[in-house]
Structure 1
Amino acid sequence: MEPKRPQKKGIKFSIFWMYAVILLILGGIYFADNDNTVSKENVEYNKFEQYVMSGGVTKIVVYTGEDPSAAAFLNDSLAKVVFKKQFSPGQQPIVTTNIPSADSFQSKIDQWQQDGYFKGSVKYEKSSNISSMIWSIAPFVLLIAFWFFIMKRMSGKDGGSGGVFSVGKSKAKIFDKDGPIQVTFKDVAGLSEAKTEVEEIVEFLKNPKRYTDLGGKIPKGALLVGPPGTGKTLLAKAVAGEANVPFFSMSGSDFVEMFVGVGASRVRDLFRQAKEKAPCIVFIDEIDAVGRARGKKPNMGANDERENTLNQLLTEMDGFGSNSGVIILAATNRADILDKALLRAGRFDRQIYVDLPDLNDRVAIFNVHLRNIKTDESLDVETLARQTPGFSGADIANVCNEAALIAARHNKSSVQRQDFNDAVDRIIGGLEKRSKITTDEEKRSIAIHEAGHATVSWHLRYASPLIKVTIVPRGKALGAAWYLPEERQITPTEALLDEMCSTLGGRAAEELFLGHISTGAANDLERVTKLAYAMVAYYGMSSKLPNLSYYDSTGQQYGLSKPYSEERAKDIDAEVSRLINEQYERAKQILKQYASGHGELADTLISREVIFTEDVERIFGPRQWKSRTDEIFASQNEPKALPTPPAIPALPDVSEETDNTPKAESTDND
């Protein structure tokens, strides 16, 4: 198959060209017939005869044809009498009249010549009524052309975005197997469970008899739910590329319009087109724009147009009408605010949760995005995956692109491991600002603060392993520390307390080794306070207020009111203060115990501005506890000849999974 040649851009025709041509023609005729050097006046035949017999006519022009006429050119004396004004040199006064016929008028001219009344020349020309005809029909032509222009603008057929008559039409884009979207399931890395569910929907359309023979029914809809950037729209593109059926794609906001009833009309038009092309798939991206729950906050005012659109969507998806062969695929990251009638079985039979990628999925996603990047042999994809916990697929794509840009900026022939590390640092912490002016006192304060984080976290079991600490300003932070959070499905109380203690290590180091505190711990205190309130009010991890949770997962139950009394609020505040104070004192005790190592670490930071895991290990010795990430990779890299590993202890039974996996965060010392 030969590649398509780029089409040459030609001159695009516009209806305004026709208007311009008409105006030019009319203007030319007007100026041709209305020359400023000619003054014409149409008179009766007897007056024309009197003018000729007076001897003031110098030339006669006879126009033959269906409507014969004659024109007489007057001299200055007669012109002054007829037109009652003085003509300047070069101007030609003319009088015209209608004549019975050219032959009879010729005999009259011969008589005038014999009698001596006329001594000028006679000229015969064929008369033309084109100009008069054009002037008679020109207004109607312009009116009809203007009417066509208005009608096309109203119907949106001249390349516009739509008009009055098309405002209720669906804006869905239709894709087929020969369309521009060539994404397949091979391009979707990770998301193995979600991909299996979506692949089955495509299989329903390709081979429905395989399922209907057993009495099964094709699902009517599937809802893709997950955080932003996890690949929901990418999965929909893969469905469009894999399915051999028409694929309608539109956004939830395309239903919303300022005109009343337009949203419902567009829903009806969308499903009408889908039924005509069934079997097909209809994809609605960001469905929360139109599927928000109805009437939850009547005091805040409701959007009746949006609710009418939702009602029509509910009816079309599962009402009295038949939608056989039409599968609805939708995506949102706000499933908690969707109307419950929209989520019920029969409309969206399946809810496919597209979660953030885990360790193995990140390795697969990196491999996909690295296919078109020239990488160096020193690059280790597994190490990159370990350094990017909590990253979505879009974040990983950004890391790969940023690394390639950094390598190109330094004129490298390939992208190296250091370029990827710089890209991760750039995305997490922001751009380095080595030009920012800091005094020696501020630099020492920042070094002691960051060394405090590193020292405390190194000696806590559940604290995230340290990767890198720097005192170079980056983004809004004056210093930053990078950690490698462990990927856990459930988090014990001890892990949250260790995280709180290591976060307070910077403020504790300032108080112990500087004798005063600063505003550098603003971000640390914010994170610690939120974590403490979550432990007490959400997770029920307080000894004084055990087994209580005031968290509303739907975000709609409590509204502006609190679900507890003022006395209970005081108890929550007291427990939060107790937890923070206990961990702050614990951090101070660890720093006092390892004061010499902390000082050496701070001096290294001041001299080198950056330290790594190897530097901390050299000062404090190897870390006592191995991270779960190391254990995962160790188990995956075990040779197959080894005996079966011991069974993993059973996890406690929980009713709901709680995702507490934090992202790699920087310490803000702004």
Structure 2
Amino acid sequence: MSKDNKPTKIKISPWFIYGAIILAFIAINYVAGGATWSNPKPLSLSNFYQYLDAGQVDKVMYSNTSADVYLKPQALNDAKHKDVKNDMLGKANKGPHYSVIIGSQNELFTKKLDEAKQANKIADYGAEPESPWGEILTFVLPFVVIIVLWIYMMRRMAGGGAAGGGGQIFNIGKSRAKLFDEKNDIKVTFKDVAGLEGAKEEIQEIVEFLKNPEKYTNIGGKIPKGALLVGPPGTGKTLLAKAVAGEAKVPFFSLSGSDFVEMFVGVGASRVRDLFKQAKEKSPAIIFIDEIDAVGRARGKNNFSGSNDERENTLNQLLTEMDGFGTNTNVIVLAATNRADVLDKALMRAGRFDRQIYVDLPDIRERKEIFEVHLKPLKKSEDLDTEFLAKQTPGFSGADIANVCNEAALVAARKDKTAVDKQDFLDAVDRIVGGLEKKNKIVSPEEKRAIAIHEAGHATVSWMLEHAAPLVKVTIVPRGQSLGAAWYLPEERLIVRPDQMLDEMCATMGGRAAEKVIFNKISTGALSDLEKVTKQARAMVTIYGLNDKLGNITYYDSTGQSEYNFSKPYSEDTAQVIDKEISSLIEEQYQRAITILTENQDKLLKLADILIEREVIFKDDLEEIFGHRPFEQKGSEVVTEA
């Protein structure tokens, strides 16, 4: 009996039942065929006649094609019959001892038996009665096997299964949502979510409404229908939803947008109906749909082949369930996406997703809080400064910081340390941002000097420009796909002005400019620099309206629908102007970098020599060569690949 005094049900595997059925058929066939444990040996017809003439045969039972031969007890003592003296169980064999194939000699066989009977050489013989069970089983058994297999398949397809019925053919229209309630062990709470104060406040209010709705309804407030979490990947949208599941004392249905997608027509809409039906039965409840853009894309776009119809039907059903005539009371829908620009407008309107909560990348204060959360399970050194770690990771999301902490622990364990210290975190940041250090990569002295000149060019130009981020560390040790890397200390800005962008572009072109100044040649090593500076220049001209020739105009589409258009939002003449202005911006900053490096060529070469000797140089080395930077900025460190 179980703890709640309910009788424990004995679960019998269906395979035992099917095995029992097969054994039953074998037993019926065994008994119906008159089989025994004697295991009669095959005997040729000529040898049988010899035993018959010698008077060793006691009885013969024959059919149209074969005969079973029983020997006399005294004949079994003969050495040539020693193989049939005992049966398969080792006991005295009572027969039949031999099996003879008669074939077409049926008349001769019976004649020999008659002669032996008259000569008293055989006690008895006769025709064996044919059992109808053989033909019955041969006819019935295939149908029985097919029926059993059919029942088994139907039970498997109609059964719940481990996936809650979602993976079975007869439950294909059922929701695949995973239910979390007070019975589930949900350990994530709002205490585990560092930063995101605004988002947590909005989410906590929804949880509080479900816990204590009278607080809001007494003054006429209505429960919001849904909240959409929007933000870059890794910023904690799904973590917030897990915290809601841990905090809310109401049923919480969690699933992904792709769970609605199926190859069968109508399945997605059916799953939406079933999901809201389950949520309404357990209301008040929360539904969380992760990556809702899988089914919530704008309708009527890119629908050339009709393959989009099923997703549109699913979206239509979702719109109806969220705010249709059959409105579900006390069911709140949370959704997360990092592509809010492609969602359908009808899905975004008030009454469906009343609130759009933007979950942005954490700032330095929030990064410190996130580090404190992820550092709890680590054995860290006592002098580890979380504020220093936050400064070293600008632009890192919460997931990136968690990865840094884990990587730092792995680095410390690799070095046989008992605690994780500051250097392990710096190595972890280098590993994650720059890639794996390739110590065995063969670099010729000529190539090494070219790489050093390139990286020294970045360092020199960025040090000389006011708005360019100054370098903190430069290395020519190959990492990942890059041959060298430079760590900057950028200022975290909310808005960027043209002079700031131009200084950053000039610093980016400093590597190629240094190659031009020193070698009067350029190489392929500036690929990532060219890619970065081209994107910046294109953004200045076509997105931010920072180009005097084009004026205050942008071709950026925040709705994301322009990706479906074959035509550009500007004419061919304008396209030529855009290309010319982008090229002009880049070339202007390239020449500016060449001028700066030409004026500081001796310092550039000195810095490159130190870099070749040490492979890694820091801010102090730059200050010894260039002096103290007059426009020092406070910021955080980041890496750029050369």
Query: C-alpha displacement at 1:328, in angstroms?
Result: 0.5
Q: CA offsets, 1:537-585, max 9 Å, x none?
A: 1111112222121111112147221111111112112211221121111
Out of 557, 561, 577, the position equivalent to 2:567 is 561
**Paired residue for 2:602?**
596
Cα distance in 2 between the residues matched to 1:201 and 1:78 = 93
**Paired residue for 1:4?**
none
Change beyond 3 A, Cα 1:30–1:617: same
Give the stretch that moved more between structures: 594-603 or 419-428.
594-603
Cα distance in 2 between the residues matched to 1:93 and 1:415 = 83
Cα distance in 1 between the residues matched to 2:482 and 2:39 = 85
**Paired residue for 1:269?**
274
Query: C-alpha displacement at 1:485, in angstroms?
Result: 2.2
**Paired residue for 1:92?**
96
2:584 matches 1:578 = yes
Task: Tell me the secondary structure at the aligned position of residue 174 of structure 1.
Answer: strand
Q: Which amino acid aligns with 1:573?
A: D
Task: Tell me the secondary structure at the aligned position of residue 527 of structure 1.
Answer: helix
Residues 387-402 of structure 1 correspond to what in structure 2 (within 5 A)?
Answer: 387-402=392-407
Residues 190-201 of structure 1 correspond to what in structure 2 (within 5 A)?
Answer: 190-201=195-206
Residues 182-221 of structure 1 correspond to what in structure 2 (within 5 A)?
Answer: 182-221=187-226
Q: Which amino acid aligns with 1:550?
A: Y
Out of 137, 148, 152, the position equivalent to 1:149 is 152
Give the stretch that moved more between structures: 286-295 or 573-582.
573-582
Q: Conserved in 1, the CA contact under 8 Å of 2:459 and 2:470?
A: no
Cα distance in 2 between the residues matched to 1:537 and 1:142 = 71
Cα distance in 1 between the residues matched to 2:374 and 2:161 = 41
Residues 630-669 of structure 1 correspond to what in structure 2 (within 5 A)?
Answer: 664-668=638-642
Out of 282, 289, 304, the position equivalent to 2:287 is 282
Cα distance in 2 between the residues matched to 1:547 and 1:195 = 38
Q: Which amino acid aligns with 1:151?
A: M
Out of 589, 592, 608, the position equivalent to 2:614 is 608
Out of 53, 60, 63, the position equivalent to 1:79 is 60
Q: Conserved in 2, the CA contact under 8 Å of 1:177 and 1:242?
A: no
Q: Conserved in 2, the CA contact under 8 Å of 1:231 and 1:354?
A: yes
2:345 matches 1:371 = no
Cα distance in 2 between the residues matched to 1:477 and 1:84 = 85
Query: C-alpha displacement at 1:138, in angstroms?
Result: 7.9
**Paired residue for 1:658?**
none
Change beyond 3 A, Cα 1:628–1:552: farther
Q: CA offsets, 1:296-333, max 9 Å, x none?
A: 23446451111111101100000001311100000001
Q: CA offsets, 1:12-62, max 9 Å, x none?
A: 9531222123323432453355327599xxxxxxxxxxxxxxxxxxxxxxx
Residues 449-468 of structure 1 correspond to what in structure 2 (within 5 A)?
Answer: 449-468=454-473
Cα distance in 1 between the residues matched to 2:615 and 2:198 = 44
**Paired residue for 2:626?**
620
Change beyond 3 A, Cα 1:19–1:454: same
Q: Conserved in 2, the CA contact under 8 Å of 1:432 and 1:474?
A: yes
2:308 matches 1:303 = yes
Residues 516-527 of structure 1 correspond to what in structure 2 (within 5 A)?
Answer: 516-527=521-532
Residues 251-266 of structure 1 correspond to what in structure 2 (within 5 A)?
Answer: 251-266=256-271
Cα distance in 2 between the residues matched to 1:451 and 1:83 = 103
Cα distance in 2 between the residues matched to 1:289 and 1:537 = 29
**Paired residue for 1:635?**
none
Change beyond 3 A, Cα 1:18–1:131: farther
Q: Which amino acid aligns with 1:589?
A: T
Q: Which amino acid aligns with 1:79?
A: V
Q: Conserved in 2, the CA contact under 8 Å of 1:29 and 1:131?
A: no
Q: Conserved in 2, the CA contact under 8 Å of 1:220 and 1:328?
A: yes
Cα distance in 1 between the residues matched to 2:570 and 2:383 = 57
Q: CA offsets, 1:99-154, max 9 Å, x none?
A: xxxxxxxxxxxxxxxxxx9x999xxxxxxxx9999999988976664443122122
User: Where do 5+ consecutive residues of structure 1 fail to align?
Assistant: 1-10, 40-73, 95-116, 122-129, 631-662
Cα distance in 1 between the residues matched to 2:470 and 2:555 = 32
Give the TM-score normalised by structure 2. Answer: 0.82
Change beyond 3 A, Cα 1:267–1:75: farther
Change beyond 3 A, Cα 1:356–1:82: closer
Change beyond 3 A, Cα 1:84–1:374: closer
Give the TM-score normalised by structure 1. Answer: 0.79
Cα distance in 2 between the residues matched to 1:86 and 1:301 = 72
Residues 423-572 of structure 1 correspond to what in structure 2 (within 5 A)?
Answer: 423-557=428-562, 559-572=565-578
Task: Tell me the secondary structure at the aligned position of residue 284 of structure 1.
Answer: strand
Regions of 4+ moved over 4 Å: 36-39, 74-78, 80-91, 130-145, 158-161
Change beyond 3 A, Cα 1:86–1:18: closer
Q: Which amino acid aligns with 1:590?
A: I
Task: Tell me the secondary structure at the aligned position of residue 294 of structure 1.
Answer: coil
Change beyond 3 A, Cα 1:83–1:450: closer
Q: Which amino acid aligns with 1:619?
A: I
Q: Conserved in 2, the CA contact under 8 Å of 1:468 and 1:611?
A: yes
Q: Which amino acid aligns with 2:461?
A: V
Cα distance in 2 between the residues matched to 1:319 and 1:29 = 64
Cα distance in 1 between the residues matched to 2:635 and 2:232 = 23
Task: Tell me the secondary structure at the aligned position of residue 182 of structure 2.
Answer: coil
Task: Tell me the secondary structure at the aligned position of residue 336 of structure 2.
Answer: strand
Cα distance in 2 between the residues matched to 1:293 and 1:354 = 22
Out of 356, 379, 384, the position equivalent to 1:351 is 356
Out of 148, 172, 179, the position equivalent to 1:174 is 179
Query: C-alpha displacement at 1:491, in angstroms?
Result: 0.3
Change beyond 3 A, Cα 1:279–1:444: same
Query: C-alpha displacement at 1:664, in angstroms?
Result: 3.1
Out of 391, 410, 415, the position equivalent to 1:410 is 415
Cα distance in 2 between the residues matched to 1:131 and 1:301 = 58
Change beyond 3 A, Cα 1:606–1:12: farther
Q: Conserved in 1, the CA contact under 8 Å of 2:461 and 2:596?
A: yes
**Paired residue for 1:55?**
none
Q: Conserved in 2, the CA contact under 8 Å of 1:365 and 1:393?
A: yes
Query: C-alpha displacement at 1:213, in angstroms?
Result: 0.8
Q: Conserved in 1, the CA contact under 8 Å of 2:319 and 2:346?
A: yes
Change beyond 3 A, Cα 1:25–1:135: farther
Cα distance in 2 between the residues matched to 1:13 and 1:254 = 32
Give the stretch that moved more between structures: 474-483 or 378-387.
378-387
Out of 324, 333, 342, the position equivalent to 2:329 is 324
Cα distance in 2 between the residues matched to 1:597 and 1:447 = 13
Task: Tell me the secondary structure at the aligned position of residue 629 of structure 1.
Answer: coil
Cα distance in 2 between the residues matched to 1:408 and 1:453 = 34
Cα distance in 2 between the residues matched to 1:445 and 1:500 = 21
Q: Conserved in 1, the CA contact under 8 Å of 2:506 and 2:593?
A: yes
Q: Which amino acid aligns with 1:571?
A: V
Task: Tell me the secondary structure at the aligned position of residue 473 of structure 2.
Answer: strand
Query: C-alpha displacement at 1:533, in angstroms?
Result: 1.3
Cα distance in 2 between the residues matched to 1:265 and 1:159 = 20
